[in-house]
Structure 1
Amino acid sequence: MSKNSFLKGTLILTLAAIISRVLGVGQRVPLQHIMGNDGMTLYTISYNIYSMLLIIATLGVPSALSKQISEYTAIGKYLEAYQTYKAARNFALVTGFIMFAFMMIIAPYYAEYALAPQADLAIRAIAPAMLLFPLIAIMRGYFQGLQFMQPTGLSQIMEQILRVATAVALPLILLHWGYNKDVAVAGASFGAVTGSIAACGVMIYFYKKRRAEQKKQLASQKSHTKLTYRQIYSKMIRLSLPITLSALAVPLIYFIDTSTSLRLLTPQEERVSFAVGHKEATIGDKEIVLPVAPYLHNNNTTMVPLEAVSQAMGAKLTWEPDKKRVFYERGPVKETLTLGSDVKVGNKILGPFEYAENTNVPAVPVRFFTEQLHTYKEAMDTLGILGGSAQSLAGLPIILAIALSSSIIPVVSSAHSRRDEREVQRMSSMALRVALITGVPAALYLTVAAYPVNGFLFSNTEATYTKAAWIIAFLCFGTIFQILMMTSSGILQGLGRTDLPMRHVAVGILVKWGGNYALAPLFGIYGIIMATSFCFIVVMALNLRAINRYTRLTILGEKWRGFLLSSLLLCAIGLTIVWAGFKVQPLVSMPAFLFFGIESAVIAVFSLAGYGIALFRLKGIDVQEIRYFPRAAQKAYHLLARYRIVPAYIDPVNQQQKSGLP
């Protein structure tokens, strides 16, 4: 294959990945407005378990398949390539069905364990996507092995468009039809299913389009080797397993958070745990057996028996003689419930008050109780901020940095295969340097501008607004270490040591799990975020130590002072504008979100411009390294160099000064 074709294919995949990731991150902004922070908690719980199980379902086979297809077709072994593809396809169909069934079965149990029984519906709604996504991943690996990148890129974009459209539109429709928030969250989760259908349709279209050429190639091969499934799978798993375990790092971290956070942030006396269809329940520190199992009313509202749960929670019930109305009292909560009418807490309509089917046991919506548990409700909101707002913004600094550094990593692999240690050292250092120089300012911007960015994008009450800004700032700052972790893992893979990132991730996950339990009791949600950062730091440090055994890294060298001072200048400019914003906002008559949007833009322009100019002036970057940056960044440099705002480029060959790049 020509070099130009390879570069074109890499560009297609990079652009598609960036567009898909931006769309995926962007969808959480309208979702948070529609469903609130507690609704985002349920959505995050379902999405995180799905993301983790999807990686396990594919086991990294698409990457291994791509490599094997490429090797076979390069030497004309088309029948062997087709046998390998069919085996991988069958593997995907089986594992996809197993994971789908597994998610459907464990949904109520996992939701109960996570102290969010309302998430049961959302987990079941996203589960059918498992039937198609492993197959889609295999077909993408097949086309990439053929160096045909268009199907992968187009399917990624179409998948995200349908996913986002469904995830935003369906909750609005369901709420308009009178369904409650739990069902609306399930509608948002179902977006993964429509996205998988769109992506699968694209892949099938391209496969059928290429079928005639494939048949021609198969017919042209005179003889072939009959490969057994055992031969194919053993080779695939050997290649793919280390990649899979390395890729599990971030999904597993988020899965740990959604699995443990509510338990860690909620005191024992406010924990409630129910599972639809099961009479066993936990109320505070009491294990009780309910007279009837929790059930779904019209597939909409989770209902639980009133008297048994009220008694376990220490509430007082006073029935009127006709047994049609009851007075409920628990601390400051005093409500009158009438059989056959809707249950309300404050102004919220939660669902019906009715007899459980075929019984004389009065039942109420589970939210009637959870809405009264103030610490639990606060924990639900907090986890929703972490999963719905902070994690979506923290995904942004990763996009550009990883896209830039990933283009350098194949060069590391090529140099290593040629035993060109000097080139390995130069390009490994360059990959980390580019990731650092581009990722850090994005992370620091979101850290210092967390308050206005949160106000512009998300909806929070006065009670949660400041907390949301701090959670966003803490998590976004930690992405600095995530950027270096992911880039260094890629370099180790380029050096052929895919086993090392796998081991380092395993150590990091243990640090994360232990960190949650050690730090959450001391610092609450910030302890959970600190545990995430510690995980990234540990994996990053282990990766860098391993790389240094192969080649001596010089990431910044003497440029570290210029880089550090430029980063501090960015923070100083950003914080100054935020401080000025507090003073100016009361004097300006405009909607708060609009003011915060303008403030966010002003911080971006001045802080990032200050960072870029200082980086050049303080020699935190070599001008010649701009060639590794995106074309837009090169054009911006060309403009600034023309007006001598930044140093001009000097041609290393003839030492002639130029205002731009060659």
Structure 2
Amino acid sequence: MPDSNKFLRGTMILSLAQFSSKFLGMIFVFPFVALVGQQGMALYQYGYQPYTILLSLATLGVPMAVSKFVSKYNALGDYRTGRRLFQSGIVIMSLTGLAVFLGLFFMAPVVAGWIIPSPDAVGGNDMSSVVFTIRMVSTALLLVPVMSIIRGYFQGFQSMGPTAVSQVVEQVVRITFILAMAFAVLHIFGGERGTAVGFATFGAFVGGLGSLLVLIMYWKKRHRHLEREAEQSTADYNISLPSMYKELLAYALPLSFVGLAIPLFQMIDLFTFNNALTASNAFTQGEAEAAYGAFSGSAHKLILIPVALATAMSVTLIPAITSAFTNGSKELLQRQITQTYQVILFLAVPASAGLMVLSYPTFAVLFGIDDMELGGNILRYYAPAALFFSIFSVTAAVLQGINRQRYVVISLLIGLCIKAATAYLFLYYMGPVGGSFSTLAGYGAAVGINIWGIGRFTSFHYGKTARRLLLITALTLVMTAAVVIVKEGAQTMFPLDSWYHAFLVEFFSVTAGAGLYFILSVKTGLAGVILGDRFSFLKRTKDFP
């Protein structure tokens, strides 16, 4: 079917772009941590976390909201309404970006005071470095809101190419600038770590500029085609701008809040991590910052790799589900939800399990043997969050697509309340891994509510998904047992006392685990059922339960 094929094609394009972007985002962390250390990564996060929150507020969930709005009216034959929204939105996004930039730039000293409990503590990042980092990254707020509305407009036509290419270009330019500046400041000009990290965060602005140029090129290329579609509209609802933005805000506010899910959870950690660990008297300021860098920067980057596919699917899912819901295509709606659930579970469940059992060699290979004990312990307990993040992203997208946004907001608010109530307590008594447990508790509650909401409001039947999950879990357990055996055997020959040994343990374990999971999933027919439409050689002809 054309709609299904377009959905799959858009999913694959954005999936590849999201994965590439996340993969590059992970790769850059390795040399960056090698340059500035875990405390430098903590300083980097001090700037990026407030920036991410304010960026989401400035854009108000615009990409997904605009794509939902444009997709709806395009389906009704009214292309002019979406075009008017786009034209006025460019102006509004420019103004909101400027306002939020000014707010973060001048509030930087106040925000820095909330993050650093003891600015004069020996071994910790100084206050001036935190302020400088926040101000440098804030400049990106001048560009990114405008980019968001352009991406959303293209996505409303289920054209994912502009978003995909611009994301990859943005990441490549940003990472290149970050590493080049960090190296230059530290090793060419002999500067301090705080200066290097501060200039590195300016890469968000430079990357945004590269992305915006790509989007402008796409716009120039497709401008005439979009104009013709607007002229050939079969309907014109002639909606006033106030009414248009009222409808858009009804979409955007919940979408914005959902986009803030991970950043809001991380924001709670940002303001509790150092305070709780130093208050326990078990960590100095410098040790607390190193732990925060390993948790919020290094380990978090790793678990976001499996989440990339879920994020990509949620972007394409909203306009596709909105169209199916608007047209009353219940069968298509059920098929899209089932398909997405299965792909997410097929990839995220074994990925989370693999990260858990291989946390120590993985962290040693990617971030150095010196931080293995600290980072490996954190990653072991944080890895299951990849599964929770993925499922939340998809279930939230489904609820938004069927106009049940308020239930997503409710689930996230409950999750955040649980996170906020437990974060300081868990960190104080459990150390750095407490941040992982408080996140899992909050996200677990939010995911449970979303799953319930989908079942209630779409009459979605979970029987098939549950059977597939049972098989995926069984294959994952077999894979995990094999990985543990191979890892323990490899460590008897190659103790984790050098990077080379850690690499060998990681290589043998990952090869065994991934190979076994692939073989088992193909032999049982699971891979063919879930991924057959994407990879023809996996297709099966016989029925599968």
Q: TM-score range by the shorter chain?
A: 0.7 to 0.9
Deviation readout 1:354-385 (Å, 9 max, x if unpaired): xxxxxxxxxxxxxxxxxxxx611110110011
Tell me what 1:48 maps to.
49
1:536-551 equivalence runs, <5 A: 536-549=443-456, 550-551=459-460
Deviation readout 1:560-615 (Å, 9 max, x if unpaired): 654433222222222223322332125x9xx9323322322221111122234445
Greater CA deviation, 209-218 or 58-67?
209-218
Does 2:265 correspond to 1:253? yes
**Contact (CA 8 Å) 2:10, 2:316: kept in 1 or not?**
no
Does 2:112 correspond to 1:111? yes
**Contact (CA 8 Å) 1:37, 1:384: kept in 2 or not?**
yes
- Offset, 1:217: 6.7
Pick closer, same or farther for the CA change 1:91–1:544 going to 2, 3 Å. same
**Contact (CA 8 Å) 1:26, 1:392: kept in 2 or not?**
no
Q: By percentage of residues, which structure has more helix?
A: 2
Pick closer, same or farther for the CA change 1:429–1:73 going to 2, 3 Å. closer
Tell me what 2:435 maps to.
528
- Offset, 1:622: 4.4
Deviation readout 1:137-196 (Å, 9 max, x if unpaired): 111122223444332222111111100101111010011202100011112211101101
1:256 maps to a residue whose letter is: I
- Offset, 1:268: 8.1
Tell me what 1:124 maps to.
135
- Offset, 1:488: 2.1
**Contact (CA 8 Å) 1:404, 1:629: kept in 2 or not?**
no
**Contact (CA 8 Å) 2:361, 2:372: kept in 1 or not?**
no
Tell me what 1:445 maps to.
354
CA distance in structure 2 between the aligned counterparts of 1:164 and 1:151, rounded to whole angstroms: 20
Structure 1 counterpart SS, 2:212: helix
Does 2:409 correspond to 1:502? yes
Deviation readout 1:314-333 (Å, 9 max, x if unpaired): xxxxxxxxxxxxxxxxxxxx
CA distance in structure 2 between the aligned counterparts of 1:585 and 1:234, rounded to whole angstroms: 62
1:191 maps to a residue whose letter is: G
1:316-335 equivalence runs, <5 A: none
- Offset, 1:47: 1.1
1:244 maps to a residue whose letter is: S
**Contact (CA 8 Å) 2:15, 2:308: kept in 1 or not?**
no
1:576-587 equivalence runs, <5 A: 576-585=485-494
Structure 2 counterpart SS, 1:266: helix
CA distance in structure 1 between the aligned counterparts of 2:251 and 2:222, rounded to whole angstroms: 27
Deviation readout 1:469-523 (Å, 9 max, x if unpaired): 1111111123222222222222323433122111101110111111102211210
Q: By percentage of residues, which structure has more strand?
A: 1
- Offset, 1:119: 1.5
Tell me what 1:174 maps to.
185
Deviation readout 1:261-320 (Å, 9 max, x if unpaired): 1111112889xxxxxxxxxxxxxxxxxxxxxxxxxxxxxxxxxxxxxxxxxxxxxxxxxx
1:542 maps to a residue whose letter is: I
- Offset, 1:214: 5.7
Deviation readout 1:424-461 (Å, 9 max, x if unpaired): 55654443233222211111111111111111111352
**Contact (CA 8 Å) 1:405, 1:434: kept in 2 or not?**
no
Tell me what 2:217 maps to.
205
Structure 1 counterpart SS, 2:403: coil
Of 224, 241, 254 in structure 2, the residue corresponding to residue 242 of structure 1 is 254
Alignment root-mean-square deviation, CA: 3.2
Tell me what 1:96 maps to.
97
CA distance in structure 2 between the aligned counterparts of 1:102 and 1:505, rounded to whole angstroms: 26
Pick closer, same or farther for the CA change 1:180–1:54 going to 2, 3 Å. same
CA distance in structure 1 between the aligned counterparts of 2:534 and 2:234, rounded to whole angstroms: 47
CA distance in structure 2 between the aligned counterparts of 1:606 and 1:448, rounded to whole angstroms: 13
Structure 1 counterpart SS, 2:491: helix
1:54-65 equivalence runs, <5 A: 54-65=55-66
Does 2:517 correspond to 1:625? no
Identity rate, percent: 27
- Offset, 1:404: 6.2
**Contact (CA 8 Å) 1:171, 1:184: kept in 2 or not?**
yes
Does 2:501 correspond to 1:610? no
Tell me what 1:313 maps to.
none
1:206 maps to a residue whose letter is: Y
CA distance in structure 2 between the aligned counterparts of 1:216 and 1:495, rounded to whole angstroms: 30
Pick closer, same or farther for the CA change 1:434–1:97 going to 2, 3 Å. same
**Contact (CA 8 Å) 2:427, 2:433: kept in 1 or not?**
yes
Pick closer, same or farther for the CA change 1:219–1:652 going to 2, 3 Å. closer
Greater CA deviation, 161-170 or 148-157?
148-157
1:89 maps to a residue whose letter is: I
**Contact (CA 8 Å) 2:14, 2:313: kept in 1 or not?**
no
1:389 maps to a residue whose letter is: S
- Offset, 1:123: 0.7
Structure 1 counterpart SS, 2:190: coil
1:4-153 equivalence runs, <5 A: 7-71=8-72, 79-115=80-116, 117=127, 118-153=129-164
**Contact (CA 8 Å) 2:317, 2:397: kept in 1 or not?**
no
- Offset, 1:109: 1.1
CA distance in structure 2 between the aligned counterparts of 1:64 and 1:594, rounded to whole angstroms: 48
- Offset, 1:413: 5.4
Greater CA deviation, 448-457 or 407-416?
407-416
CA distance in structure 2 between the aligned counterparts of 1:460 and 1:26, rounded to whole angstroms: 17
- Offset, 1:210: 4.0
Which protein, 1 or 2, shows the higher relative CO under an 8 Å CA cutoff with sep ≥ 6? Answer: 2
Pick closer, same or farther for the CA change 1:239–1:174 going to 2, 3 Å. same
Pick closer, same or farther for the CA change 1:518–1:214 going to 2, 3 Å. same
Greater CA deviation, 79-88 or 471-480?
79-88
Instruction: Name the TM-score, length of structure 2 as normaliser.
Output: 0.88
1:581 maps to a residue whose letter is: A
**Contact (CA 8 Å) 2:85, 2:244: kept in 1 or not?**
yes
Structure 2 counterpart SS, 1:179: coil
Tell me what 1:432 maps to.
341
1:592 maps to a residue whose letter is: S
Greater CA deviation, 253-262 or 545-554?
545-554
Instruction: Name the TM-score, length of structure 1 as normaliser.
Output: 0.73
Structure 1 counterpart SS, 2:383: helix
Tell me what 2:422 maps to.
515
2:438 maps to a residue whose letter is: A
- Offset, 1:407: 6.7
**Contact (CA 8 Å) 1:39, 1:384: kept in 2 or not?**
yes
**Contact (CA 8 Å) 2:17, 2:164: kept in 1 or not?**
yes
- Offset, 1:392: 0.7
**Contact (CA 8 Å) 2:90, 2:149: kept in 1 or not?**
yes
Tell me what 1:279 maps to.
none
1:625 maps to a residue whose letter is: V
Q: Which runs of 5 or more structure 2 residues have no equivalent in the other structure?
A: 117-124
Tell me what 2:206 maps to.
194
2:514 maps to a residue whose letter is: L
- Offset, 1:258: 1.4
Q: Which runs of 5 or more structure 1 residues have no equivalent in the other structure?
A: 271-373, 639-648, 654-662
Greater CA deviation, 380-389 or 556-565?
556-565
Q: Count residues in correspondence.
A: 530
Deviation readout 1:88-127 (Å, 9 max, x if unpaired): 1111011100110011011111111100523111111111
CA distance in structure 2 between the aligned counterparts of 1:404 and 1:71, rounded to whole angstroms: 19
Tell me what 1:651 maps to.
542
Does 2:366 correspond to 1:457? yes
Pick closer, same or farther for the CA change 1:76–1:594 going to 2, 3 Å. same
**Contact (CA 8 Å) 1:508, 1:539: kept in 2 or not?**
yes
1:529 maps to a residue whose letter is: S
**Contact (CA 8 Å) 1:562, 1:615: kept in 2 or not?**
no
CA distance in structure 1 between the aligned counterparts of 2:156 and 2:311, rounded to whole angstroms: 22
Tell me what 1:597 maps to.
503
